[in-house]
Structure 1
Amino acid sequence: MSRLISLLILVIDVIVIIDIVRSNKDTEKKILWIIAVVFLPVLGPILYYFLGNRR
């Protein structure tokens, strides 16, 4: 069960990082968001979709 959760978190992180790279943000903001997602694998994507993903 824990492997499934870990795999799900990894997939979500990769999807969020791809979304960050494709966004129209400045390069500095992209790098900061990617660092946040990598170092906070559960909280990072949540923060990005609530705070950083304003289209």
Structure 2
Amino acid sequence: MGIEVGGLLGLIWLIILIWAIVKVAKSAASTAAKVIWILVLLIFPLVGLIIWLLFGPKG
């Protein structure tokens, strides 16, 4: 049962991460800012997502 739960949580985490990357790509921020945010999200998935939610481009 542990493997199935871990796999499901991993899938949910991946969906949230992809959603954040898409939101960054569609934002009105500059290209450099978009690249930096996407790199932060990819290199530091958990911390990057939290930082993006707090300080990322709005709208």
TM-score normalised according to structure 1 size: 0.87
Say if 1:37 and 1:45, in contact at 8 Å, map to a contact too: yes
Aligned with 2:21 (options 17, 23, 35): 17
User: C-alpha separation between the residues in 1 aligned to 2:33 and 2:19?
Assistant: 17
> Could you tell me which residue of structure 1 aligns to residue 57 of structure 2?
53
TM-score normalised according to structure 2 size: 0.82
> Could you tell me which residue of structure 1 aligns to residue 46 of structure 2?
42
Among all aligned residue pairs of Structure 1 and Structure 2, give the percentage whose two residues are the same amino acid. Answer: 25
4+ runs of 1 displaced by more than 3 Å? none
- CA shift, 1:53, in A, is 3.1
The unaligned stretches of length 5 or more in structure 1 are none
User: C-alpha separation between the residues in 2 aligned to 1:54 and 1:22?
Assistant: 11
Say how many residue pairs are matched.
55
User: C-alpha separation between the residues in 2 aligned to 1:23 and 1:53?
Assistant: 7
The unaligned stretches of length 5 or more in structure 2 are none
Say if 1:9 and 1:42, in contact at 8 Å, map to a contact too: no
